Amino acid sequence: MDLEETREKRPPVTPMMIEEEAALRNGSRGLPPGSWAEAAGPRPRTTERHIAVHKRLVLGFAVSILALLAVTMIAVLLSVRFEECSAAADGPPRGSGNGSLPGAARQPSGAGQPPGRPEQEEENEARGGEVAEEEEEEEWQRRRELPPWTRPRLPQHLRPLHYNLMLSAFMENFTFSGEVNVQLEVLNASRYIVLHAHRMHIEAVRVAEDKLAGGVRVDRSFFYPQTQVFVVVLNRSLEVQKSYNLKIIYNALIENELLGFFRSSYVLHGERRFLGVTQFSPTHARKAFPCFDEPIYKATFKISIRHQATYLSLSNMPVETSVFEEDGWVTDHFSQTPLMSTYYLAWAVCNFTYRETVTKSGVVVRLYARPDAIRRGSGDYALNITRRLIEFYEDYFKVPYSLPKLDLLAVPKHPYAAMENWGLSVFVEQRILLDPSISSISYLLDVTMVIVHELCHQWFGDLVTPVWWEDVWLKEGFAHYFEFVGTDYLYPGWNMEKQRFLTDVLHEVMLLDGLASSHPVSQEVQQATDIDRVFDWIAYKKDYLTIHKYGNAARNDLWNTLSKALKRVGKSVNIQQVMDQWTLQMGYPVITILGNETTDNVIVISQERFVYDIDAKPKDPALGDSSYLWQIPLTIAVGNTSHISSEAIIWVSNKSEHHKIPALEEASWLLGNINQTGYFRVNYDIRNWRLLINQLTRNHEVISVSNRAGLIDDAFNLARAGYLPQNIPLEIIRYLSEEKDFLPWHAASRALYPLDKLLDRAENYNVFNEYILRQVASMYLKLGWPMNNLNKSLVQASYQHEELRREVIMLACSFGNKHCHQQAATLISDWISSNRNRIPLNVRDIVYCTGVSLMDEDVWEFIWMKFHSITAVSEKKILLEALTCSDDRNLLNRLLNLSLNSEVVLDQDAIDVIIHVARNPHGRDLAWKFFREKWKILNARYGEALFMNSKLISGVTEFLNTEEELRELKNFIKSYEGGAAVSFSRAVETVEANVRWKKLYKEELFQWLRKSLTH
């Protein structure tokens, strides 16, 4: 379908108007952004027309209008008086002025500046709230019960049915006012209304019964900041099975941060423009309006947004009507949503333009972005694949997309790659905008998979939502798996599901899950600060979606669905019993297969929990590693020099078991976990490892591509944890000179990365460096460099071949291949002298990084200048990352300090700058010192966005590996202020494991390397 560029214009009256990563491997060896970057952390998602609305929505809307009219008439006739109660403030100051929605809070005074209140007034209000809170707590103490507002979960005596939310956004001074009317159903009698509200000023509270009884007097109200709730105390109890309306008028700031309703900006034609956008997941809707901010409290929402006519507003649903005012303001009234959780609600106020397309089933898809990005066509790729993917998933899941439209919003600043708000998905620009003329295949893949992931959430998460955050993997895990399925649909030849899922997901998450401080897939969540750390991974499909449509689900609902599916095909399996061991226990097992020297054809299979540091204390001291036990479906095959048998399955349920294996001859080898379908590692006796190494050297194709990648990953990680001699993984990769498939090379590159970082400051590092170069050299010569492809299609050659070539060039330049360095320097010099960039797209990041690390300061300044002048986000990203590759410590320090200037480096990019400098051996200590000195600033900026804070802490500390650095880390943790205790605990364990490895195994490794290089 043709794409139409459109500037959002609203006629005076219309009936309805339609809305990381490449972590740069830094240092003198010039490894660029790519798969190495994130090797140690999970990668932590309508044209104007009348929309045909589902009959039930039309009926519901009509009923709600009639009910509203009836209530209004009765209220007028009976002269119902609503009791207003001024509440304590725990957030921004009160506004004043006029020009608000009818009955809503007023526009704050002082254009361009947030309004202010006298400090004395704020202190008095806070004091009043504390007195009310103390009085209430004393009453509950007399009852010997905890007050409901002190508990981590909301009390369950009320259920919200519908929200009517009216907002006024004042973009000139970054404030907003709101009026929310919540229809409540009473499940248990109570005189308390407890709901979430945080960092806002509440002006008035009213409670009325929807029927003839009239208003309910508000006795008092107060904030309870510890649980981020607002408490309304009534003079009588609300009656069971009756419905009430809670009305709250409030105002708050459009914050300059990354959560709640926050602001961002961009520059167009030299003018800085601002926009406001929301990020409510997991617990930040409460910053934008008072609400029941837990996923189980699904309700319908009717949103109205008032803004200046120079802006447009977007929300989850299409605009029904727009009402224009004479003073240049407009109010957009959006259609009512289906039942949904608060954290998927979204809105934005911006002056973007858009392009659109329509699916076969009539879903209108729009992509909104900066006008210059839309004009260049930077959103066209994302828009087209979104249309195709909606059509694909509707057919795949046999469940139609549930809303009339889907808007994709590209914003300059966002805490995550994307957020899958129902009907309004928000993406950071780097994860959705793509300029085909200057984007690499790896960047295209990154953009594709983020979009596919977020679209999966329109079914997994939006349509079916977890009951509580302990089962957040029900949405995140399955969406993560299906992003590979969706990408396979778009690019069948890329073989994403069967291959890249192994290296980019399975191997990656096993790194994190191998720590003693890991957590189960399903874990208990008590308070808001726990929630950001529980997002994990797994997979499911259609029946589940149909049964729980528009509802909530927990893990046992999934197990029951799978058990029923098995029963239909004649198999009776208690899925819950098996899976609880995998979801409720942390970590994963390592299976060890040993030959039995006394009995022919019998092997001993044992299991234990895999951990990188056996000295690390378990998270739960009462639960030692020896008590972990899994039911493990171990697939196993027997092979020899020319053949491998069909696989058999053995269920391993005990710590140690004996099993008879037919046809196990003297020269035969065993291979476990065929094609890596199981979530565990496999170790063997040394004899079997030798046989496998010999097989790879003689005829590696007897073993499947997936298992070759798996053997490499298992061997390196087993050696790092001390289960295997250090030379075994290095002997395995000797066969790579004959390996023509991308996946084993990719696995080797990712596995070598942490080992390289443990050694890159060692005196004998050149020995390791030389060994790796020998393994890479012949394949580097065979593949060569790509040709300039500026005028060719983005996916011009075989994906696997081009990615293999990129991986080998990256390793060659990283470890100092002279020809690779010379080629990179030549390409950079040609660009500088001609001011024409002829560097092949798929290796630009490698060349930029290598050039910056090898060449003088003038090259750094040239890249810095290009970073400022270019507008294409894909190019801007790799230019910024290249700056961190310098060997010059003064330049690295300069860049670190510049990273905190939001006008120069976007907030989410500053984290990457600091992390990339930390991965540069010349900058690791600089980044570590910078992190400690600027912690208060960094924690203030990212502290509530726990995912970002965790990423920063991990990235800066993960390759510290000396006793002195470990002491510095522990001393810093003792003195720091702020949260992130879990992230720091994990950091300590990681650094302790690094120190332990160096102490126990570094010399063993270097001795073997020296001996190997002399033969």
CB contact at 8 A, 660 and 601 = yes
Q: Where does residue 652 rank: exposed (0-12), middle (13-18), buried (19+ CB within 10 A)?
A: buried
> Which of 444-458, 577-591, 875-889 has maximum average pLDDT?
875-889
Q: Which residue has the higher pLDDT, 964 or 1014?
A: 964
Span 944-992, pLDDT tens digits: 666 678 889 999 999 999 999 999 999 999 887 666 778 898 899 999 9
pLDDT for 666: 80
pLDDT for 558: 60
CB contact at 8 A, 185 and 323 = no
pLDDT for 103: 34
Residue 970 CB neighbours (<10 A): 14
Span 21-74, pLDDT tens digits: 333 233 333 333 333 333 333 333 333 333 333 333 333 433 343 343 343 333
pLDDT beyond 50 at 91: no
Cis status, amide bond into 282, omega within 30 of 0: yes
Cα dihedral sign, 674-679-685-686: positive
Q: Where does residue 497 rank: exposed (0-12), middle (13-18), buried (19+ CB within 10 A)?
A: middle
Element (H, E) at 190: strand 190-196
d(CA 551, CA 570): 29
pLDDT for 670: 95
> What is the average per-residue pLDDT within 775-782?
96
- Across the chain, what does the average pLDDT equal? 80
Question: Active-site residues: which are they?
Answer: 454
pLDDT beyond 80 at 761: yes
> What is the average per-residue pLDDT within 155-171?
97
> Which of 281-285, 289-293, 636-640, 869-873 has maximum average pLDDT?
289-293
Span 702-714, pLDDT tens digits: 999 999 999 999 9
pLDDT for 523: 42
Q: Which of 484, 557, 554, 564 lies closest to 521 in space, CA to CA?
A: 554
Residue 442 pLDDT grade (very low, low, confident, very high; cuts 50, 70, 90): confident
Residue 923 pLDDT grade (very low, low, confident, very high; cuts 50, 70, 90): very high
Span 363-381, pLDDT tens digits: 999 999 999 999 999 999 9
> What is the average per-residue pLDDT within 310-333?
96
Span 511-533, pLDDT tens digits: 666 656 554 444 444 444 443 44
CB contact at 8 A, 87 and 218 = no
d(CA 258, CA 650): 49
pLDDT beyond 90 at 564: no
Q: Which residue has the tokens 């990203």?
A: 877
pLDDT beyond 50 at 204: yes
CA dihedral of residues 956, 957, 962, 967 (deg, nearest 10) = 110
* SS3 label, residue 222: strand
Span 723-742, pLDDT tens digits: 999 999 999 999 999 999 99
3-state secondary structure 412-472: CCCCCCEECCCCEEEEEHHHCCCCHHHCCHHHHHHHHHHHHHHHHHCCECCCEEECCHHHC
Q: Which residue has the tokens 């750094």?
A: 860
3-state secondary structure 781-820: HHHCCCCCCCCCCCCCCCHHHHHHHHHHHHHHHHCCCHHH
- The secondary structure of 289-350 as a DSSP string is S-B--STT--BEEEEEEEEETTSEEEESS-EEEEEE-TTSEEEEEEPPP-SB-GGG--EEEE
Two structure tokens written together for 960: 């510290």
Q: Which of 678, 732, 733, 745 lies closest to 705 in space, CA to CA?
A: 745
Two structure tokens written together for 977: 């202020």
Q: Which residue has the tokens 């002195």?
A: 964
Cα dihedral sign, 451-468-473-510: positive
pLDDT beyond 60 at 95: no
Q: Which of 440, 442, 385 lies closest to 408 in space, CA to CA?
A: 385
pLDDT for 110: 34
> Which of 22-26, 212-216, 583-587, 664-668 has maximum average pLDDT?
664-668
Span 869-909, pLDDT tens digits: 998 999 999 999 999 999 999 999 999 999 999 889 988 89
Percent of the chain's residues with pLDDT above 70: 72
> Which of 142-151, 470-479, 618-627, 745-754 has maximum average pLDDT?
745-754
pLDDT beyond 60 at 671: yes
pLDDT beyond 90 at 237: yes
pLDDT for 842: 92
Residue 762's alpha-carbon distances to 31, 55, 203, 725, 828, in angstroms, are 18, 70, 63, 20, 30
Element (H, E) at 944: none
pLDDT for 805: 95
pLDDT for 125: 45
CB contact at 8 A, 125 and 89 = yes
Element (H, E) at 545: helix 542-547
> Which of 540-549, 598-607, 767-776, 972-981 has maximum average pLDDT?
767-776
